[in-house]
Structure 1
């Protein structure tokens, strides 16, 4: 796919994955399905040495300084509750939290010499204790790789794929022992029935499992609160694999959001047959520009009944996952911070790593690749 076909916001967020989050160019290019040559060109244009980003350097440094202060305060707050009953658990606290903060920082805050802590770690324990400790380490690793959203069932599948011999109940017990909790979702509000729509018929009729890719897409818009104001993301999801194939994030909820998201989906997928694109009856989707775009690109429109969100349940489900697994745990200071975090969730985690029950517990990209492999073998 040519790099010039991606919108500017996609390029900027792709560069941030390399510059700010520390991912390698090759790994980011692989997950985003772009060439390394294009990514290097984007880094040259949008990277930290470009004129557009130099003015952000001081601001980012201040953010890192404040984050360090917050980390130290969080350590003290958590340690106070940890030592409420017994004051001799400092070493255990450092052991249980050394994946969240560096060991030397924990020792400094808790007034513990690092040598004493490492000597305490060498105390003899049973084989079972060491086995459970090793397995707990793997659990924490896979938990962090899932952005701390997986429960014991999905972590058990990751452990099994990694060659670890354990039972699903043991994974649950170890997670309970170290206090790893399942991410709790939002409660969906109850809605009343809406009036029948005559804009475009509801053609999928809640049939959310097509037999092949690019037969049906769904699209929707949500809103995210930041201290700077609202940010409005729009996505296009392929029903076959639940893969997000197009997205756009802007400051206002206009028709340009949905048009840019759908344009990205068309460029990425280049469908050879007519695709059914399902949405609600928002003003962005009933606009003349939306209908004209569908017609000019050989797409077929479909809409849910007004006031009824169940017809577009897959898009609603994705936004619920996004809120539960990423947004609920964050407080965004700026829209740019929220945009980068959502890009990371969609492109770096959800598409290539997050397992789905509707796709045989595989990530969307892997599920689609398996489909094409089976198709070629027939």
Structure 2
């Protein structure tokens, strides 16, 4: 028998060399070679299968780390599993969790909300939405609110509009003060992008901005129906509350010291909102990004 390997080599390396040699030499019989080196055939196949499994695991782990890094530690086990499935890897949630724990892949882990209940003047609209957050098409239901950021830059206020159909950020404005001009800018951006909004339900809390007479008039001019949460019921506007929590957890908390100026914060939020709209996948919209889900809907609808 021709020497195939050193007797001191690890068992898996021996079996690998036997496999390659038998495959290359048609005159060699596997059972004969294994008998010569006192290796049970069950051990041979077990080690081969284990090597294939290890290789496959290495590839999955590599992809998992890549997904985790690409999304800047914003993806937890469910999103990583979904993205791996999207990339053609069949893997269960338990295994993803186990591998994430093994390789210390910890998603960014919620603090206090800015309140805009300052004055009692203005008209309060009915709660038409009444926690029915389901929208069957784009521009059917929008929601808005204001959230506060604090840091070396002072204070900053983000005012976005979300479409409840796909969670897409329709328009937004970041300002150093929570004033009515900020709301006008946000509305102007939204109305510039979307012309026909007749019948749209626009939901908010009872913040003073939304009770402002001119705000209500601007909505009426577009045929938009205004809806307001009951005071003190954050669940009535949980869609935007959830977005604020996600944005701060994935973009701001733990990184406060990086934002020395308002300009730096503005750039980070702009980048995050682009990422959120175009790349961040969600289970509620079939593991697509908001933009992809809207485009798919429009394509199928037409």
Distance 1:135 1:314 in 2: 33
In structure 1, the partner of 2:85 is 160
273, 278, 282: which one aligns with 2:207: 282
Q: Using the TM superposition, give the Cα deviation of residue 188 of structure 1 relative to its aligned residue in structure 2, in angstroms.
A: 8.3
In structure 2, the partner of 1:262 is 187
Unaligned runs of 5+ in 2: 1-49, 115-119
**In the alignment, is residue 334 of structure 1 matched against residue 266 of structure 2?**
no
242, 250, 257: which one aligns with 1:317: 242
267, 274, 277: which one aligns with 1:351: 277
Count of aligned positions: 245
Partner-residue secondary structure (3-state), 2:226: strand
Q: Deviations over 1:224-266 (max 9, x none)?
A: 1120200111000001111100100111000111221122112
How do 1:1-378 and structure 2 match up within 5 A? Answer: 128-186=53-111, 199-331=124-256, 332-347=259-274, 349-376=275-302
TM-score by length of 2: 0.75
Unaligned runs of 5+ in 1: 1-124, 190-194
CA contact (8 A) 2:123 2:213 kept: no
Distance 2:197 2:153 in 1: 42
Distance 1:187 1:297 in 2: 34
Root-mean-square deviation (CA, aligned residues, Å) is 2.3
In structure 2, do the counterparts of structure 1 residues 282 and 160 end up closer, same or farther at CA, with 3 Å as the change threshold? same
Distance 1:168 1:369 in 2: 28
Q: Using the TM superposition, give the Cα deviation of residue 329 of structure 1 relative to its aligned residue in structure 2, in angstroms.
A: 2.9
TM-score by length of 1: 0.61
Distance 2:90 2:285 in 1: 24
Distance 2:273 2:170 in 1: 9
CA contact (8 A) 1:226 1:335 kept: no
Q: Using the TM superposition, give the Cα deviation of residue 200 of structure 1 relative to its aligned residue in structure 2, in angstroms.
A: 0.8
CA contact (8 A) 2:73 2:105 kept: no
Structure possessing the higher radius of gyration over alpha carbons: 2
Distance 1:298 1:244 in 2: 21
In structure 2, do the counterparts of structure 1 residues 309 and 253 end up closer, same or farther at CA, with 3 Å as the change threshold? same
In structure 2, the partner of 1:11 is none
Q: Using the TM superposition, give the Cα deviation of residue 127 of structure 1 relative to its aligned residue in structure 2, in angstroms.
A: 5.0
